[in-house]
Amino acid sequence: MSSPKSLLIRQARLILPNGELMIGDVLTQGGQIVEVSSEIAATTPTQEIDAQGLTLLPGVIDPQVHFREPGLEHKEDLFTASCACAKGGVTSFLEMPNTRPLTTSQLALDDKLQRAANKCLVNYGFFIGATADNLTELLSARPTPGIKIFMGSMHGQLLIDQEDLLERIFAQGSRLIAVHAEDQERINQRRQEFAGIHDPAVHSQIQDHQAALNATQLALKLSKKYQRRLHILHMSTAQEAELLREDKPSWVTAEVTPQHLLLNTSAYQTIGTLAQMNPPLRSPHDNEVLWQALRDGVIDFIATDHAPHTLEEKGQTYPNTPSGMPGVETALPLMLTAAMDGK
């Protein structure tokens, strides 16, 4: 359906470019905003929407989601996922490669793009995943927003936890590299230390602050060595934020999730394994430091890391539960509530 030539949205709660909130009207003509004011008088035949009590803001780009098509459609498919995007105000998403099959080749990328063209209600892009032996595909596959590297919290082909393999990828090409920065060797050691404990809260101790910091330091070192564009996904710790505050080249960016801003380890007491995610939830102190880093521009933007599982899967006993938390349909309301509360 084409948009009306003139649309007037009245008395919405508006988030302005300077971050301030106001109650007012927005007039669009031909699909473009032409006026924002506390009150606008319609001078031509105009469709009007009463938005009193609702929040209006520009469409959001979510730069990290884990949708479940192909291969895991019992959890979600591209149609239902893009419906959740639209409902949550997300008009574009960038999706990660850990589907079945993995998005590690041009063939798999083409398949996803065709599926999305047939099903998605919003704009889309798909990362290509790095393996130990697909460097040629990483350099040539297109279109893609970049290369995804799982430095930890992964198994099988997508786990790249050896520095020599990481360096080979950083050294060749110019495409953006996005990293899940956790130190798999440390995680493996910590799993042995905490073996036999079924309290999901131990997840934050196994994949601890040091595991995150080790991997972020390594990714930053390689990025600086080759001046390679680097994006640090779902930053979760105060230590990582302070590292970037002290040393962040212009070609490096970072993101944070609403979960790591608004939830902390106390959530395990109330929602158990539903709070299990990678990287894990941290302390209230980490929440505060991440908020400040976001305000100061040390962290560049917010992503949801939307990664749904069924309630049956999440209801298993730790550590047999999968990590992940749905986000695209809930993240914006959470953020707006926090903003209204003065976070």
Residue 331's pLDDT is what? 60
3-state secondary structure 169-229: HHHCCCCCEEEECCCHHHHHHHHHHCCCCCCHHHHHHHCCHHHHHHHHHHHHHHHHHHCCC
Between 1 and 73, name the one with better pLDDT: 73
Between 339 and 125, name the one with better pLDDT: 125
pLDDT tens track for 143-173: 999 999 999 998 899 999 999 999 999 999 9
Count other Cβ atoms within 10 Å, centred on residue 296. 10
Residue 1's pLDDT is what? 40
Residue 70's pLDDT is what? 98
Q: Is the pLDDT of residue 222 over 70?
A: yes
Domain spans, the chain: 6-55, 59-340
Domain 59-340: give its CATH architecture: Alpha-Beta Barrel (3.20)
Q: Which of 25, 208, 305, 341 is catalytic?
A: 305
What's phi and psi for 70, nearest 5 deg?
-90, 160
Q: Is 305 a catalytic residue?
A: yes
pLDDT tens track for 39-81: 998 777 789 999 999 989 888 999 999 999 999 999 999 999 9
- Can you tell me the distance from the alpha carbon of 210 to that of 205, in angstroms, rounded to the nearest whole number? 10
Residue 69's pLDDT is what? 98
Residues 6+ apart with CB under 8 A from 273: 200, 314, 315, 316, 318, 321
Whose structure tokens read 């041009």?
106
- The overall average pLDDT reported for the chain is 93
Q: Is the pLDDT of residue 4 over 60?
A: no
Count other Cβ atoms within 10 Å, centred on residue 240. 28
Q: Is the pLDDT of residue 38 over 80?
A: yes
Q: Once rounded to an integer, what is the mean pLDDT over residues 177-189?
A: 98
Indicate whether this model's pTM tops 0.85.
yes
Residue 278's pLDDT is what? 97
Q: Is the pLDDT of residue 249 over 70?
A: yes
